[in-house]
Every structure is written in C-alpha cells, then in structure tokens.
Amino acid sequence: MQLPFVKMHGCGNDYIYFDCLKHTVPKPASLAKQLSDRHFGIGGDGIVLICPSSVAAARMRMYNADGSEGKMCGNAIRCVGKYLYDSGYCKKRQITVETASGIKTLQMQIAGSRAVGATVDMGPPVWRPEQIPVDLPGARVVGTPVKVGGRRYEITCLSMGNPHCVVFLPAVEQLDLVSLGRDFERSGLFPQGVNTEFVQVLGPDQLRMRVHERGSGETLACGTGACAAVCAAVAAGLCARNTEVQVQLRGGALTVRYAPETVYMTGPAEVAFTGTAEV
C-alpha cells in the first residue's frame, strides 16, 4: 500500500505528515517506528496524522519515534495549520486544531499564497504535581531540589499538554543529553515519562534551551518545551510575565509570551519534501 506524505518541520523538529482526511493510515504506532528511523526510513521525530474533526478544522494525532502516542506538539501543530491552509482545506488566518490536550487556536502567518508560520494559543500551564504528573509533594514544583543520576538538581515541573521538567544551568551546549535525559526518564519521579528542558538564561527576554523528549530523545526543537521553559523562568523571577521571550533552540528560535490567562508561542512551519511511503 502506498501513502503520500509531507515531511515538515518547525525549527528542525521534523515529522512525517499523513492526510487522513483522504486516506486511512494502518497501524500508526508501528509505522512511526518504521518511518522515523533516519537510516532505514524516511527519518523524523515521529509521524502526524491530520484527521477529520467535528469540533475543529482538523484533529492532530501524533506518534513519537518509538511508537508512543503523544498528546501535543507545538511545532507539529503549526505544520498542521500550514498544511490545512496551503492545501485549501481551511483558507483562513485563524484555524482551530483538535488535539488530545484540547482545541488549539492558530493565527496563521501568510506570505503570498502560503502559510509560513503561526502563533498558537497553547493554553495555560498546569502546575499541580498530580496533574503533570510528577511524584513530588506540594501545590507546585518550582525550584525543588532533587537527586537524579547521583547529582543534585533544582527542577521546575509543569504540563503544557504533556509533562515537562525544566532545569536551569549556567551553560547547556556541552551537556551529554543522551545520558542526562535517560537519567531523568528513569528517575521514578515521572510516572508517564517526561520532556526535560535544560535552560541557560541569556537575559531577561532570551533563553537558550536543549531538550530531551520522551519517546524521541534529543530533538532540535520542542514547542511545548519552549513554553514550559518560559513559564518556569517567570515562576523563578528570571523573566517577566506577559513579555515576549526568545527561546534559542538547536534548530532555530521560538518566541513565547506567558500572558495572564494563557501562553502564546510563535514560530515557523516549513515543508522539507513530499513523497510516497510503502506501508
């Protein structure tokens, strides 16, 4: 069976997208593992299905490279919005997309006849430990000391539709993220796994971040992770509320604003190539 796909990315966070408004994709979890392999497959951080929705322009289902299904991806949802706009399914500057974390609203950035990016209303962060979830006491986990992999860290935990653990460090470029990310995943603190952000504060409106995502390992960018990093920085008094903060990632930059009622994330959406997959 042959299925057409579009390879898209937001700041290098790349997924293989299938139009399930026209086609049926069999066994998506197995397909994600097969196609995400960068040597024996197409290569990507996972696959995304663009599906029909009764409450929004479309529904996004995403599968990580290990086959696990994720709830939300800030970079992927911008690409879904681009696909819906460019393909003519929803030729509007405001597009809603249903996700496992609720309906998200995108304000599309248009250049000529194409969408080039979007600002996404990501919703408010969730701070309650049991709702993230993280196995630590208290009403919030902000700057909480823990021991992970034999070392002491101060962590801030929150959910932006999926669980995040933010660690502020003086420098992040030389970190062994494979090892560190594995240590946090296996720490026993996170019953559903975790995305771990290692963040360096460059200034009151600028952060540098590397991220180890559950199910995918280190990725070049993480939209929900960038949002989590800014929210954590605001909670720690390192950045100001309702201010645009640039988050520098290995694949590019995202702009995040932690507004009084929600979090807004702005970034690009780009097509890498199209093709047909044998499934």
**CATH number of domain containing 50:** 3.10.310.10
Mean per-residue pLDDT, 252-264: 98
- Same-domain status, 119 and 9: yes
- Same-domain status, 143 and 97: no
Task: Report d(CA 236, CA 231) in Å as an integer.
Answer: 9
Question: What's the pLDDT at 107?
Answer: 98
- In percent, the amount of the chain with pLDDT more than 70 equals 100
Whether pLDDT at 102 is above 90: yes
Q: Is 242 annotated as a binding residue?
A: no
113: confidence class by pLDDT, cuts 50, 70, 90: very high
Question: What's the pLDDT at 209?
Answer: 98
- Asked if residue 102 lies in contact with residue 123, where contact means CB atoms within 8 angstroms, the answer is yes
Q: Which of 11, 20, 73, 157 is catalytic?
A: 73
Question: What's the pLDDT at 25?
Answer: 96
Residue 134's contacts (CB-CB under 8 Å, 6 or more residues apart) are 141, 157, 163, 165, 189, 190, 194
Mean pLDDT of the chain: 97
Domain range for 108: 2-123+267-278
Whether pLDDT at 259 is above 90: yes
Residue 84's contacts (CB-CB under 8 Å, 6 or more residues apart) are 50, 57, 58, 90, 95, 97
**DSSP one-letter code for 138:** S
279: confidence class by pLDDT, cuts 50, 70, 90: confident
- Same-domain status, 250 and 134: yes
- Same-domain status, 36 and 144: no
Question: What's the pLDDT at 75?
Answer: 97
- Same-domain status, 152 and 62: no
Mean per-residue pLDDT, 169-179: 96
- Asked if residue 266 lies in contact with residue 119, where contact means CB atoms within 8 angstroms, the answer is yes
- Same-domain status, 105 and 134: no
- Same-domain status, 227 and 137: yes
- Same-domain status, 79 and 134: no
- Same-domain status, 49 and 14: yes
Whether pLDDT at 71 is above 90: yes
- Same-domain status, 136 and 218: yes
What total of structural domains would you count in the chain?
2
Whether pLDDT at 1 is above 90: no
Q: Is 64 annotated as a binding residue?
A: yes
- Asked if residue 214 lies in contact with residue 179, where contact means CB atoms within 8 angstroms, the answer is no
For the chain, helix (H) and strand (E) counts, in that order, are: 4, 18
Mean per-residue pLDDT, 54-64: 98
Question: What's the pLDDT at 34?
Answer: 96
Q: Which of 90, 222, 227, 239 is catalytic?
A: 222
Task: Report d(CA 269, CA 10) in Å as an integer.
Answer: 5
Q: Is 154 annotated as a binding residue?
A: no
- Same-domain status, 39 and 76: yes
Q: Is 75 annotated as a binding residue?
A: yes
Mean per-residue pLDDT, 177-182: 95
Helix 223-235 vs helix 74-86: crossing angle, to nearest 10: 130
| Annotation marks residue 11 as catalytic | no
Task: Report d(CA 270, CA 166) in Å as an integer.
Answer: 27
- In percent, the amount of the chain with pLDDT more than 90 equals 99
Q: Output phi, psi for 259, to 5 deg.
A: -80, 170
- Same-domain status, 180 and 113: no
In the chain, the amino acid numbered 56 is A
| Annotation marks residue 222 as catalytic | yes
